[in-house]
Chains A and B, each alone.
Chain A
């Protein structure tokens, strides 16, 4: 589909989908998937046929009836207006064609709109009553019912291949993007139509041409030879339900179009129109390296307009806290030190509070919990600590402490430190969560209710008295999950711990009583990761059901569902200002979601493998993501641009962390190394001028080696987690692997 798809209908569809999702927490149907489902149609595949007009009308009417039956009167209105069906008669095509059409592809535009409409009619009667979790499979697959001449597929494909290889270099790189999606769709079409041998031959002949970073998908594809298999395969359903997005310059696109029209190559043209979304831009065609850096995700690159939304990446104003200066000052400070410290404190507070960051969201955009006294005390502690922070830089690298888990036969799967580095939590494959105190202070439970009654409430040391000294120990074990614990996260106030598990639940544990407080059910599938908001109260979780959910600790149902990923959500992180959530997925994209309205505001493509780690820079401007291919990508959130690629790791990166001031990025990997990168340099070097900002084309300097400040080996311990203490000491954690 060449032209930009126009919005109203899509919005409409989402409007319909959203309330449904929100009301039904268990539904896996997502807004985007739903609209994706709508966009592919068996009927519009052959617009040449004479029948569609009649059918379209009928289906439209069917939809209207369905909507009426479900008392969705607003939608009925909109649909009527939209389709021009108010007076039950047509003319719809004409209005749409003229209204939505622009550029070259407008021929298909009307079709697409109609096709969506018609498909809704086809899907609705079948899927709604059944209440399936998945987008309706038969509908999706029936997109392939339209048959070409199977043996000719090879001819078509090689014809296109020859053409693309013969065009000018500048266009070749761009048009080569077509190979992979075309290849997959043609292969699936063959499989769907039971041309097994042709499919095999086709695969064998052309699979070698595809980019190496699609190997994983090709692996799945080559095992698939039967129509029946298509039904259960999520990856391929994803491929269907989403349009593969390509960015192609106008010149290249016209070259392609002319070629296909000359050759009357309708088969390929149809696939391009139905399954591909070609985002046309004006200007110079992109180079091969530019394309390669952005491609690799399951559904192609991100459409440009999805990254246009404004993101308030600035930090929130620090709350004003009266810092009790003299009496609280620790004894180490001498007379000279005091006035200095006061000054720095005021500076750090003042600069933030006086100048409101223009990129920061409204202070109350997301309702945040009020600060308790203990939080204020903690903030003061934090400020005190940060005055003693070591300033890191290329010449001043952090010291690294490694926390090694010994005898972790159960299998260490997740680690987290508290912000003040006093507690360490480990999630294990044997369903347990263990908490260690890494300071001499032991972990104690609160006394039982009966004993608490005896305590005098007015005494000064009541907080000390309520603790049961008998229970003091270095570590505590939390039992409750019934599957491996894949994610743990401490609350900022150190009172709670979250854990997410294969059993489909997220659990909230109290670190006062060391018991489970709540089990949040909703994902119903393994929950791969969870993360507390930096202000507490909210947390986010993501799992195998391909959605991320936003929860509040006092609600047993999710507040928001972030749906749109085409595969498992593998990792989740809160933005430092708590207004956004970043998720990484097996579909090889990173998405940024607005907590306020659950909209996806950024789709970041470029990874070539599932993403297993994310980290926001402390100033909220940048995001780092690490994947199984051992590369770290750096993103500018404001522009939605990739601004750096850090190559060096040889295995999955499971841990990423910026130093407290953001000068250093530490990455930890399965390859038993911790690497330190000069993030300041990486951010400084890429100047995002207006051109790159508008086109999204980046020239990445290949400077990983210059940015790599240090590489540190552990003996045989994969690095599972990294944490910078408030004074910028780097803590790493992992389980010793004796094999």
Chain B
């Protein structure tokens, strides 16, 4: 009888609810064989309306207490039952009932199809039982911070991988480690932006930790590093303690004498540079996740640097790593080590035997890297001093705006802005409390002139050229007095970049990740702001007269100056290979630091070993 049940909805103006008209009542009565008079029908209709409304109002209470938003047939039935009315049957289905209009009669009815019970009973596709009710817990917000774990991800500890995720993981890893560069790019992009892969993070981290097993394959290493980059850049991922694991993988690429570097044709230098940049990126964006990370990184870099047994490429990695971590790191680790290390390097560079050619080329690499790092150290230190001198009130805003501008300008993997102050997060305190045996614990700041003097004694005019003397590189006009403010701001932001791009022929390709590698546009600063503002700035800071250069500063390293000048003409890497040392080595005057060499003790020995040419660079492998 339900199917004959129909309403005619009328919307009278003065009432805001549906009414059952008397015609419907009469029809219903007729269908059950009762004849109603007009009057009775009208009364009944009104009463039915009222009762329906009442039942609906009562049923809403059941809905509210069931904590639902949707009123169900069950709610209405309960309301009817409690008001001692018969309940309606047959409408308990979850899916919505189609309510259809009949065009001719302005009649609306519920579609009610006949169901063949026999068919239903004999049907072979028995519906599956519904899944069991269960409770899952997940940490939604840690310490009330909402940005920690985005919605829709479940902590890895609880979640088992779904089929889809598993498939995704396979596809992504295959694409990244596979041959097709286009596919790899797509996969990396997705990895960088996908918000639902939190569960896969440990798996990816595991894959990345495979760097140790593919150290012979530069290409694979590169791909894995890119994977790291994508993961680090994914804003939806909370790396947590996985940062440590990622950092150790990256450090491996920076420091280890990779099997791939046996073949001098393999450009593992670029890989190291890239890894160093990645390291600084991870550190600056995620360093706060692991306490003492900075300290640990510095410690391991320093260890490599002070270990003369390590091959030069490892040393190179340590230097670029320090450089990437900022000038403070250079000042604290590299600079104090320089005297000791220098002798080592010197020995390599001074060995002209044919068998040493390869090692020597590597030595030049290290030399270049050190030079770059040291130069920036000087520059930043000078900058910080001038800023401090000009008053912190004026100086600080300048640096901050500069830093912000930098960040905006180069979204990709460019070296992070360097704070002139200590890195935040109380890293300094880590260092102070680092425990005994930390070589930089007794570190005391060296004054800038002293530092410059000392460095000058190593690098000679090659340093001077860069800072104060030498031909103007960009053909810049002498600095006018009108620049102080601008000049102050500018170096903070662009100095590192400018240095990288313009002043170090050796490292052009390495310190500035080329677009083809990271896909990020070259920072506009590096390409556009060529005018020698920073040179002029550096002049401001380093007026030659300010530093009394050591009297005994003969051009002991004249060959290097020559190389520099050559390098300016040649571009980038080629400089390395075409570099030809000219002067004989015997003419060295005794250096001020010569007496310090024995302190290291082991220094002389490896030098000897290196010079005797049978030494294999990659012995540790």
Using a CB–CB cutoff of 8 Å, the interface residues on chain A facing chain B are: 200, 204, 219-220, 222-226, 228-229, 232-233, 396-413, 424, 426, 428-429, 434, 436, 438, 475, 483-484, 486, 502, 525-526, 528, 544, 568, 570, 586, 610, 612, 628, 651-652, 654, 670, 676, 709-710, 712-715, 718, 720, 732-733, 739
Stretch among B106-114, B132-140, B464-472 lining the A interface: B132-140
Q: How far is the CA of A413 from the CA of B64 in the complex (A)?
A: 10
Cβ-based interface call for B143 (8 A): yes
Contact residues in B for A424 (Cβ distance below 8 Å) = 135
The interface residues of chain B lying within 8 Å CB-to-CB of A411 are 66, 68
Query: Hey, which chain A residues are within 8 Å of B62, CB to CB?
Result: 484, 502, 526
| A413 and B67 contacting across the interface, CB-CB below 8 Å | yes
Kindly state whether residue B152 has any CB partner on chain A within 8 Å.
yes
The answer to whether B151 and A714 touch across the interface, beta carbons within 8 angstroms, is: yes
- Chain A residues with CB below 8 A from B408, complex form: none
Does B65 interact with chain A (Cβ within 8 Å)? yes
Closest Cβ–Cβ distance, residue A511 to chain B (whole Å): 17
CB of B130 within 8 A of chain A?
yes
CB nearest neighbor in A for B52: A223
A-B contact pairs, 6 of them (CB 8 A): A396-B144, A399-B139, A399-B142, A413-B67, A486-B65, A525-B82
Chain A residues near B15 (CB-CB < 8 A): 222
In the bound complex, residues from chain A placing their C-beta under 8 Å from that of B135 are 403-406, 424, 426, 436, 438, 475, 733
Contact check, B144 vs A402: say whether CB atoms are below 8 A apart: no
B78 at the interface (CB under 8 A from A): yes
A612 with B64, Cβ < 8 A, contacts A406-B136, A710-B146 known: yes
Q: Which of A220, A400, A407 contacts B140 (CB 8 A)?
A: A400
Query: Quick check: B49 and A223 within 8 Å, CB to CB?
Result: yes
Closest B-chain residue to A711, C-beta based? B146
Report the number of A-B residue pairs with Cβ-Cβ less than 8 Å: 136
* From A204, A436, A654, A710, contact of B14 by CB (8 A): A204
Residues of A within 8 Å of B57, CB to CB, are: 219-220
Extra A-B contacts (20), CB below 8 Å, given A219-B57, A670-B67, A710-B146: A222-B16, A225-B46, A225-B50, A232-B54, A400-B139, A400-B144, A403-B136, A406-B131, A406-B135, A408-B133, A413-B66, A428-B133, A475-B134, A484-B62, A484-B65, A486-B65, A486-B66, A526-B82, A715-B151, A733-B135
Task: Give B531-586 interface residues, CB cut-off 8 Å to A.
Answer: none
Q: Which residue of B lies closest to A709 (CB)?
A: B144
Binary interface encoding of chain B residues 134-163 relative to chain A, with 1 for a CB under 8 A from any of its CBs, else 0: 111111111111100001100000000000
Docked complex Cα distance between A568 and B60 (Å): 13
Chain A: CB-nearest residue to B143: A399
Q: In the complex, A718→B67 CA distance in Å?
A: 8
CB nearest to A529 among chain B residues: B65
B82→A628 contact, CB < 8 A: no
A568 CB contacts on chain B under 8 angstroms: 61
Residues 437-469 of chain B: 1 if any A CB is under 8 Å from the residue's CB, otherwise 0? 000000000000000000000000000000000
A412 engages B67 (CB within 8 Å):
yes
Distance of B50 from chain A, by nearest CB (Å):
5
A404: which B residues are within 8 A, CB to CB?
135-138
> Is B53's beta carbon under 8 Å from chain A?
yes
Instruction: Name the residue on A nearest B138 (C-beta).
Output: A402
Q: B144 contacts A710, CB within 8 Å?
A: yes
Distance to closest chain A CB from B440 (angstroms) = 31
B595 within 8 A of A: no
Q: Which among A401, A405, A718 is the interface contact of B134 at CB below 8 angstroms? A: A405
Cα separation A233 to B54 with both chains bound (whole Å): 8
With A407-B132, A411-B68, A709-B144: A401-B138 Cβ-Cβ less than 8 Å: yes
Q: Which single residue of chain B is at the shortest CB-CB distance from A712? A: B141
A223-B49, A399-B142, A712-B141 known; A406+B151 contact, CB < 8 A: no
A630 to B62, CA, bound (A): 19
Q: Which residue of chain B has its CB nearest to the CB of A228?
A: B47
Q: Is B17 an interface residue when CB atoms closer than 8 A count as contact?
A: yes
CB of A610 within 8 A of CB of B64, answer yes
User: Is B128 interfacial (CB 8 A cutoff)?
Assistant: no
A522 CB to closest chain B CB (Å) equals 16
Does A628 lie within 8 Å of B67, measured CB to CB?
Answer: no
Within 8 A of A (CB), among B28-74: 46-47, 49-50, 53-54, 57, 61-62, 64-70, 74
Q: Which residues of B contact A222 (CB under 8 A)?
A: 15-17
Listed residue (A222, A223, A424) with the most chain B CB atoms within 10 angstroms of its CB? A223
Known: A204-B14, A399-B143, A411-B68. A229 touches B50 (CB 8 A): yes
Main secondary structure of the interface of B (DSSP, over half): mixed
Taking a contact as CB atoms under 8 Å apart, the answer to whether A528 and B65 are in contact is: yes
Interface residues of B in 183-209 (CB under 8 A from A): none
B524 CB, nearest partner CB in chain A, Å: 38
Q: A406 contacts B138, CB within 8 Å?
A: no
Q: Which residues of A contact B139 (CB under 8 A)?
A: 399-401
Residues in A whose Cβ lies below 8 Å from that of B67: 412-413, 652, 654, 670, 718, 720
**Once the chains bind, are B144 and A399 in contact (CB under 8 Å)?**
yes
User: Once the chains bind, are B144 and A676 in contact (CB under 8 Å)?
Assistant: yes
A200 to B, closest residue via Cβ = B14
Across the two chains, which residue of chain B brings its CB closest to A223?
B53
How far, in Å, is A414 (CB) from chain B's closest CB? 8
Q: List residues of chain B with CB within 8 A of the CB of A570.
A: 65
Q: Name the contact of B152 in the complex, choosing from A484, A526, A715 (C-beta under 8 A).
A: A715
- Quick one: given A222-B16, A434-B133, A718-B67, are A712 and B140 in contact (CB under 8 Å)? yes
State in angstroms the CA–CA spacing of A403 and B154 once bound together.
12
Q: Are A397 and B144 in contact (CB under 8 A)?
A: yes
Closest beta carbon of chain B to A345's beta carbon, Å: 27
**Chain B residues with CB below 8 A from A396, complex form:** 143-144
Residues of B within 8 A of A223 (CB): 17, 49-50, 53-54
Smallest CB-CB A-B distances: 10 pairs:
A397-B144, A407-B131, A400-B141, A223-B53, A402-B140, A400-B140, A399-B142, A715-B151, A486-B65, A407-B133
Contacts of A483 in B (CB 8 A): 78
Taken together as a complex, chains A and B put the C-alpha atoms of A434 and B135 apart, in Å, by 11
Report the minimal beta-carbon distance from A568 to chain B, rounded to whole angstroms. Answer: 7
List chain A residues, Cβ under 8 A from B145: 397
Q: Could you tell me if B14 and A714 are in contact, using CB atoms closer than 8 angstroms?
A: no
A175 to B65, CA, bound (A): 36
Q: Which residues of B contact A654 (CB under 8 A)?
A: 67
Cβ contact within 8 Å between B144 and A410: no
A103 to chain B, nearest CB (A): 40
**Bound CA span A396–B82, Å:** 49
- Give the contacts of B1-35 with A (CB-CB under 8 A): 14-17
Instruction: Give CA–CA (A386, B228) in the complex, Å.
Output: 42
Complex interface: chain A residues within 8 A of B142 (CB): 399
In the complex, how many angstroms separate the beta carbon of B157 from the nearest chain A beta carbon?
A: 13
B453 → chain A closest CB, angstroms? 49
Contacts of B54 in A (CB 8 A): 223, 232-233
Min CB distance, B431 to chain A, in Å? Answer: 27
CA distance A715 to B141 in the complex (A): 13
Q: A670 vs B70: C-alpha distance in the bound complex, in angstroms?
A: 12
Residue of B nearest to A405 (CB): B135
Given A223-B50, A401-B137, A404-B138, A502-B78 contact (CB < 8 Å)? yes
Contacts of A709 in B (CB 8 A): 144
Q: How far is the CB of B44 from chain A (nearest CB, A)?
A: 12
CA distance A436 to B169 in the complex (A): 33
Please give, as numbers and ranges, the residues of chain A lying within 8 Å of B74 by CB-CB distance: 429
| Contact string against A for B residues 581-593, beta-carbon threshold 8 Å, 1 for contact and 0 otherwise | 0000000000000
Point out the residues of chain B lying under 8 angstroms from A228, CB to CB. Answer: 47
A396 to B144, CA, bound (A): 7
- From the candidates A226, A544, A651, name the one contacting B50 in the complex (CB within 8 A): A226
Which A-chain residue is minimally distant from B15 (CB atoms)? A222
**In the complex, what residue of chain B is closest to A655 when comparing beta carbons?**
B67
Given the complex, which residues of A lie within 8 Å of B69, measured CB to CB? 651, 670
A399 to B143 CA separation, bound complex (whole angstroms): 4
Return chain A residues, CB-CB under 8 Å to B141: 397, 399-400, 710, 712
B50 engages A397 (CB within 8 Å): no
Q: With A and B bound together, what is the CA distance between A628 and B60 in angstroms? A: 12
CB-defined contacts of A410 to chain B, threshold 8 Å = 133
